[in-house]
Amino acid sequence: METNTHRLSILIVEDNPGDLFLLEELLRSSTLQYQQLFKVSSTNDAINILQQEETIDLVLLDLTLPDSSGLESYQKISPFTGAIPIIVLTGLIDTEIALETMASGAQDYLIKGEFDEKMLDKSIQYSIERKKSQENLRESNERFEFVIRATNDVIWDIRLSDKRILWGKENLKRLFGYELKNNESDFEFWVDNIHPEDRERVHTQIQASFESTADSIWEAEYRFRCMDGEYRYVVDRGHLLYKNGKAVRMIGSMQDITERKLAELQVVNSERRFRSLVQNGSDMIKILDQQGDFIFASPNVEKVLGFKPSDMLGSTLFDYVHPDEAADIANHFNTIKGQDYHEIGYFRFKDATGEWRWLETKLANLLRDPAVRGIVSNSRDVTEKKKAEEIIRESEERYRSLFNNNPMPIYIWDIETLQILEANTTAQREYGYTMEEFHKLKVTDIRRPEHVPQFMEHVYKIRKAQTDVILYAQWEHVRKGGDRMFMDVFTHRITYKNRQAVLSQASNVTEKVTLEKKLQEEREARQKEITEAVLRVQEKERYDISRELHDNVNQQLTVAMMYIATAEKGTDNSGQLLKQSSTFIYNAIEEIRKLSKVLVTPLIKDFGLCKAIEGLVEDFHATNALHIDFFYNEFYEDDISYEFKLNVFRIVQEQMNNIVKHAQAKQVVIELYREELINLAIIDDGVGFDTTQKRSGIGLNNIKTRVGLYMGTLDIQSQKGDGCRLKITFPISKDIMETRQRPPLQ
């Protein structure tokens, strides 16, 4: 230890006069050189001296004072001593407290009565030197921390004996998010956080550096993982420290170069993209000098135009431009000379085969750029696009022609606002509005107000439908003058001028609807006629039945009753009378059975039309001297409605009644067959009649009415003495094939 020649100023804090006297004697007896002693008896007085005097070199502090005791005495004075060393004076029993003061920063402690002037001398000199070393270390650490804060690098220190790393705390947390205990980590912490793709390379390099004696500098660039899992690019530099020729430490710094690295990668990628675009892209890059001569052509010129880039160098732009566009291109070229940027629309450019290609070009004026010194031309081959546009234009013209000249009204309307956007010539003529007037209308304006709610329901369906779905509805529309017309309208969604719209194609079916209405009225009138005819027939049948019952059945029953009454009186011929009565009663029963058969509806539903007619033929055979043949050639009737079958049966029944009553025929032939039409023929060999003179009776009128109900045709061929041929033809219509919801005709 060096001898201190500096004359010391010492502050003694002691409240015991005896201890103070003894301490002064020891100081005088020592080899220490001091110039002044400051003596106080309390911590407060000591603090005042420390605040007033700047020359104090040492504090001798008694721990037991009037205003403080033990560790408290040190803690009160310590904040005011700064770099001044403190030696604690304590009694034997206060040794533990003295040790606590040293742990808190005191330089030494002396036990009162246990030290002499030599020990005091040694303790003072040791404390002054120790405090000075601590201050130097503190200042060094402060400078180190300042350097860390002043730089963006993470400072680190590896102790190679155990591979422990001391890290610069603030920047490690700020740059990478890590907070380490005591700012230390093992070597694996650093290795594990290196990107897997870089880890082996970097670890091998630093291990080789640890073992090398030739190079004390290590440097590596790699990716380091942050606390949040993100990787940052860093450049790491380390300097080896040697002891006895062996590396013992490496001190270095880790610098975050992510922004610079990303910028470099962006430049590299940009250059690669540019090179790829120039070499492989569809655009042709060319550079022309101020006169229009080519001084550069990209490789893809050959792919697009068939020229090798070197073949174009030295030639002029106008060697390739179509003569019809040369003047226009010259104007464009002169324009770019005075501007930074200019675009040229479609123009024709000759390729290596002599064919004309359509190009679209953008020009950039870089004549003043020393790296280029030319006009950069970026051209794109748009020949196919030009052809497609021409096809689209022609298609649009054809569509416009088809739209405007279509014989059916067509109009387009907005699906949301219902505003009419377009209407063809036929629609204008049909509705009576001009195009300007149509543009002011909504599709609801061409309808009657009471039909709008129903139409809005239809609009809802259109909005929900897919674009390929066509919806149909029949509407009543209103012309400009107020006239009404019925329209069959087909609608589907389209895109019209970048908006969702609906195309409606209409067909005027007013005449058809009117005709159908008229036909319906006629059909209803025929139905009324049939109903009236049926009622007449029923009334006639009731009249005939009542007459039969009155004139025949009633008379036979009356005679039978008279015979029975006479027989009951016991006359000689009573047996004969009873026998005749039985005959009259039997005849009455047969007449009633005959009438019942006429009234009962045939069981067509159970057995079919043909079987019902066969039953009818058998009944006529049984009661009349007629030979009847029925031919139906496996007539297929499963898909024919019950009402139509019953109608045919009644026609046959009606005609057979006519033959029995009027024809005096001996033979009858009935034919029923089905091909494209349903045909019915009834032929007899009776007396016939003159069709030009004979007036139709009720039976024949009933037949005509039934034939007309199903749109059939009736042909009657007859003359006197030559029988009658009745032929009926029915078209196979929906009314015949489907069950009609109306009461069956009896």
Which residues are CB-contacts of 446 (< 8 A; sequence separation ≥ 6)?
431, 477, 478
- Looking at the structure, do residues 674 and 535 belong to the same domain, yes or no? no
pTM: 0.34
> Strand 667-674 relative to strand 677-684: parallel, antiparallel, unpaired?
antiparallel
CATH number at residue 684: 3.30.565.10
Rounded (10°) angle between helices 574-599 and 554-568? 160
| Count of C-beta atoms within a 10 Å radius of residue 684 | 27
Residue 3 lies in a domain: no
Residue 274 lies in a domain: no
pLDDT for the residue 351: 92
Asked whether 376 and 287 are in contact (CB, 8 A), the reply is yes
Using alpha carbons, select from 559, 546, 548 the residue that is nearest to residue 585: 559
- Looking at the structure, do residues 645 and 744 belong to the same domain, yes or no? yes
Asked whether 491 and 470 are in contact (CB, 8 A), the reply is yes
pLDDT digit string, tens, across residues 1-37: 444 567 888 999 999 998 888 888 888 888 888 888 9
In the predicted structure, residue 741 carries a pLDDT above the cut 50: no
Residue 173 lies in a domain: yes
- Chosen domain end from 471, 490, 508: 508
Q: How confident is the model at residue 744 (pLDDT cuts 50, 70, 90)?
A: very low
Which residues are CB-contacts of 16 (< 8 A; sequence separation ≥ 6)?
62
Question: For 284-289, what is the mean pLDDT?
Answer: 90
- Looking at the structure, do residues 139 and 156 belong to the same domain, yes or no? no
In the predicted structure, residue 590 carries a pLDDT above the cut 50: yes
Instruction: State the SS3 of 682-738.
Output: EEECCCCCCCCCCCCCHHHHHHHHHHHHCCCEEEEEECCCCCEEEEEEEECCHHHHC
Residue labelled with tokens 């139906």: 632
607 vs 215, residue with greater confidence? 607
Asked whether 577 and 567 are in contact (CB, 8 A), the reply is yes
Helix, strand, coil in percent for the chain, rounding step 5: 50, 25, 25
Q: Order across the sheet with 410-414: list the strands.
A: 420-423, 410-414, 499-508, 484-496, 471-478
Residue labelled with tokens 């011929």: 573
| Count of C-beta atoms within a 10 Å radius of residue 619 | 14
- Looking at the structure, do residues 610 and 746 belong to the same domain, yes or no? yes
C-alpha to C-alpha distance for 259 and 263, rounded to whole angstroms: 6
Question: For 250-266, what is the mean pLDDT?
Answer: 88
pLDDT digit string, tens, across residues 34-93: 888 999 999 999 999 989 988 898 999 998 899 998 889 889 998 998 889 999 888 766
For the record, the structure tokens of 722 come out as: 């030559």
Residue labelled with tokens 């002693």: 37
The winner for highest mean pLDDT among 278-292, 440-454, 511-525, 542-556 is: 440-454
Residue 341 lies in a domain: yes
Determine which of 194-203, 573-582, 603-612 has the lowest per-residue pLDDT on average: 573-582
Longest dimension (CA), the chain: 201
Percentage, residues of the chain above pLDDT 90: 39
Burial of 372 (0-12, 13-18, 19+ CB in 10 A): middle
Question: For 583-612, what is the mean pLDDT?
Answer: 73
Percentage, residues of the chain above pLDDT 70: 89
- Looking at the structure, do residues 551 and 666 belong to the same domain, yes or no? no
In the predicted structure, residue 728 carries a pLDDT above the cut 60: yes
Residue 396 lies in a domain: no
Please report, for residues 74, 93, 429, the alpha-carbon distance to residue 100 in angstroms, rounded to integers and kept in the order given.
Answer: 10, 13, 114
Residue 398 lies in a domain: no
pLDDT for the residue 597: 58
pLDDT for the residue 490: 94
Residue 729 lies in a domain: yes
- Chosen domain end from 592, 617, 650: 592
Residue 78 structural domain = 8-143
Using alpha carbons, select from 472, 532, 449 the residue that is nearest to residue 701: 532
Alpha helices per DSSP H over 33-116: 43-52, 71-77, 95-104
Looking at the structure of the chain, the number of domains it has is 6
Q: What angle do CA 40, 44, 45 make, to 5 degrees?
A: 30
C-alpha to C-alpha distance for 552 and 546, rounded to whole angstroms: 10
- Chosen domain end from 559, 592, 625: 592
Mean pLDDT of the chain: 85
pLDDT for the residue 740: 44
3-class DSSP state for residue 240?
A: strand
Q: How confident is the model at residue 530 (pLDDT cuts 50, 70, 90)?
A: low
- Looking at the structure, do residues 305 and 374 belong to the same domain, yes or no? yes
Question: For 146-168, what is the mean pLDDT?
Answer: 82
C-alpha to C-alpha distance for 85 and 65, rounded to whole angstroms: 19
- Looking at the structure, do residues 251 and 380 belong to the same domain, yes or no? no
For the record, the structure tokens of 278 come out as: 């120039």
**Alpha carbon 573 to chain centroid, angstroms:** 110
Asked whether 153 and 255 are in contact (CB, 8 A), the reply is yes
Asked whether 433 and 441 are in contact (CB, 8 A), the reply is yes
Using alpha carbons, select from 89, 94, 93, 91 the residue that is nearest to residue 108: 89
CATH number at residue 440: 3.30.450.20
Burial of 504 (0-12, 13-18, 19+ CB in 10 A): buried
- Looking at the structure, do residues 650 and 720 belong to the same domain, yes or no? yes
Which residues are CB-contacts of 575 (< 8 A; sequence separation ≥ 6)?
567
| Count of C-beta atoms within a 10 Å radius of residue 338 | 8
pLDDT for the residue 731: 93
> Strand 667-674 relative to strand 627-631: parallel, antiparallel, unpaired?
parallel
pLDDT for the residue 273: 62
- Looking at the structure, do residues 26 and 100 belong to the same domain, yes or no? yes
Per DSSP, which regions of 572-720 are E strands?
Answer: 627-631, 667-674, 677-684, 713-718
**Alpha carbon 193 to chain centroid, angstroms:** 42
Residue labelled with tokens 């030599």: 118
Which residues are CB-contacts of 529 (< 8 A; sequence separation ≥ 6)?
705
- Looking at the structure, do residues 723 and 618 belong to the same domain, yes or no? yes
- Looking at the structure, do residues 480 and 384 belong to the same domain, yes or no? no
Asked whether 409 and 430 are in contact (CB, 8 A), the reply is yes
The CB-side HSE value for 243 (13 A sphere, CA atoms) comes to 6
In the predicted structure, residue 569 carries a pLDDT above the cut 70: yes
In the predicted structure, residue 381 carries a pLDDT above the cut 80: yes
Burial of 530 (0-12, 13-18, 19+ CB in 10 A): middle
What separation, in Å, do the N-terminal and C-terminal C-alpha atoms of the chain show? 148
Which residues are CB-contacts of 19 (< 8 A; sequence separation ≥ 6)?
62, 89, 112
| Count of C-beta atoms within a 10 Å radius of residue 132 | 12
CATH number at residue 114: 3.40.50.2300
pLDDT digit string, tens, across residues 468-515: 889 999 999 999 999 999 999 999 999 888 889 999 999 999 998 888
Residue labelled with tokens 């009419």: 420
- Looking at the structure, do residues 605 and 745 belong to the same domain, yes or no? yes
Q: How confident is the model at residue 447 (pLDDT cuts 50, 70, 90)?
A: very high
Asked whether 699 and 654 are in contact (CB, 8 A), the reply is yes
Which residues are CB-contacts of 587 (< 8 A; sequence separation ≥ 6)?
556
Q: What angle do CA 487, 488, 494 make, to 5 degrees?
A: 110
pLDDT for the residue 443: 94
For the record, the structure tokens of 597 come out as: 């058969």
Determine which of 149-153, 242-246, 291-295, 299-303 has the lowest per-residue pLDDT on average: 149-153
| Count of C-beta atoms within a 10 Å radius of residue 382 | 17
The winner for highest mean pLDDT among 380-384, 392-396, 679-683 is: 679-683
Residue 267 lies in a domain: no
Q: How confident is the model at residue 222 (pLDDT cuts 50, 70, 90)?
A: very high
The helix (H) or strand (E) run that includes residue 287 is strand 284-288
Which residues are CB-contacts of 26 (< 8 A; sequence separation ≥ 6)?
115, 116, 117, 120
pLDDT for the residue 607: 83
C-alpha to C-alpha distance for 357 and 333, rounded to whole angstroms: 19
